[in-house]
Amino acid sequence: MNIIGREHEIKILQDLLSSSKSELVAIYGRRRIGKTFLVSEVFKSQIVFEVTGLHNGSMKNQLLNFHKQIVESFNKLPVGNQPPNDWSQAFSILGKCIDSIKSKNKKVIFIDEFPWLASRRSNFLMWFENFWNTYCVKRNDLVVVICGSAASYMVNDIIQNKGGLHNRVTRKIRLLPFNLHETKLFLESRSIKLESYDILLLYMAIGGVPRYLEMIRKGQSVAQNIDRLCFENNGELRNEFNEVFASLFNNSSTHTAIIKALAQTHKGITRKELLEKCKLQQSGFTSNILNELTESGFVAQYTPFGKKNRNSLFRLSDEYCMFYLKFIEPYASTGQGTWERLSVKQNFKIWTGFAFETICLKHIQQIKNELGIGKVFTVQSSWAGNSAQIDMVIDRDDNRINLCEMKFYNDLYTIDKSTYENLQNKLRCFREEVKPRKSVYFTFITSYGLKENSYSLHIVENSIRMDCLFLS
């Protein structure tokens, strides 16, 4: 298989082939994340029928496309060649075609962009439920894979279905962007070799979405690639922000309003503050939208250290969205060379600091492994006191607390007198306000490490370089 990473997901799918019963697996994740590629690669020889829903397609066109794929998948139809009039007929035809296969091996039915098939008043979902409950479950040789980019539909209508599919999904997979390790492997598979610092800069701008990474050209610098993709007139990622939300969510204006509100704050805001910013009411509607954004990986919810769950904060966790709102949208018309000019301004330093922090939060296991506490139970969060705040607190079950400072810098980072005094103040405030019963230490996570001096030796317990974030 030519799949980078996804070891956990591959194992789940492969295990389905040795199951003693029919399986229904739901896979969801934002568009361009690699759902179709994953399924096609794992189940190459086992797929007996595959169909992809048509975006905004009518019921008639969806049925015609479904029938066309049946004709192409089965050499000899055991039924007539007339297209079905409704989904009841469509699934009946599909069942008879599967019956005609003599092999007793597992057979995979792959329905991609499943939500798009459910056009208005089509009753598609009802007849799919019927197909699963009256046909598939009576066999032991089927794996039905349904994929969708629309996280709201996949979660609410399939995984949390209260009707005919209630508790019928046997496995679910939420496909997320690549981490740094997978991103490096993916680029190397395309003969693109970049230093860790450059990969980090690239990741800060476009994240770990495989399709975005496919657009990176060998022989161009990171700045040249970002300029070409994001700022030139025909740049492939110049308008991706609007396109991705329009394709994922119905009536996406509220989703984008929330994303834009979160982009204005680095540390996150409460649900109440967010709703006030967006002029939204406390309701099931807004809860669903926040859940959709979280499930799709655009937003992260976390509880600050020492706070109750009701005080949890929401923050923007998608690199591309932050980059788009920070740079692409305001500077889209400036053209070639834009990024090279922007990368020497103060805004760049502020953005890289926040982006690096976000990336570190996503790679907490790598950080723990580097600290030698990979198997120690921990809780990670930020902390904000009355006069100080800490980027990340690692609260450990072995009676220690790591106060983590993340610094993205193009050289060894130097703790000078001012920085030292600031750190001392943070430590004092944390101890006075939290009154921890555990030992408290400072951990620095930097690009190239700390320059050793009297200040660093006195206040820093652990120094971690960016390279550890790239470990598997």
Domains, the chain, in order of start with CATH, read 7-174 (3.40.50.300), 178-362 (1.10.10), 363-470 (3.40.1350)
H helix or E strand, kind and range, residue 458: helix 454-459
pLDDT at residue 425 in the model = 95
Other Cβ atoms within 10 Å of 452 Cβ, number: 13
DSSP state of 4: -
CA distance 440 to 399: 9
8 Å CB contact between 29 and 6 = no
DSSP state of 333: G
pLDDT at residue 356 in the model = 95
Residue 129 CB-half CA count within 13 A: 16
pLDDT at residue 1 in the model = 62
Measured torsion, CA atoms of residues 134, 20, 28, 111, in degrees rounded to the nearest 10? -50
Spell 406-428 as b/e; 16+ CB within 10 A means b: bbbbeeebebeeebbeebeebbe
CA distance 235 to 227: 8
Q: Which residues contact 213 (CB under 8 A, 6 or more apart)?
A: 178, 183, 186, 187, 206
Name residue 383's beta-bridge partners. 390
pLDDT, one tens digit per residue, over 332-380 is 777 678 888 888 888 898 899 999 999 999 999 999 999 999 999 999 9
pLDDT at residue 214 in the model = 95
Which of 446, 381, 387, 388 lies closest to 460, judged by CA? 446
List Cα–Cα distances, 423 to 80, 391, 442, in angstroms. 77, 12, 9
Residues (pLDDT < 50) of the chain are none
Residue 451 CB-half CA count within 13 A: 8
List Cα–Cα distances, 417 to 32, 81, 403, 413, 443, in angstroms. 47, 81, 19, 13, 18
